[in-house]
Amino acid sequence: MRRQLFLIAIGSVCGYLMISWVPNVTPFVWANFITDFIFRPLRSFLAMICFFVGFLANAAVIRTFIEGMIRFIWKQTSHFREWFASCGIIGSFYWLFQLNARLALLFFIFSVVYGMISIDFAGSRRYKKLL
Contact (Cβ atoms closer than 8 angstroms) between residue 97 and residue 89:
no
State pLDDT tens for residues 12-69.
999 999 999 988 877 878 888 888 888 988 999 999 999 999 999 999 999 988 888 8
- Burial class (CB within 10 angstroms; exposed 0-12, middle 13-18, buried 19+) of 78: middle
Cβ atoms of residues 80 and 47 within 8 Å: no
Of 2, 5, 34, 20, nearest to 104 (Cα)?
A: 20
pTM here is 0.81
- Give the span between the Cα atoms of 48 and 104, in whole angstroms: 14
Which pLDDT belongs to residue 17? 95
What integer pLDDT is reported at residue 31 of this predicted model?
Answer: 87
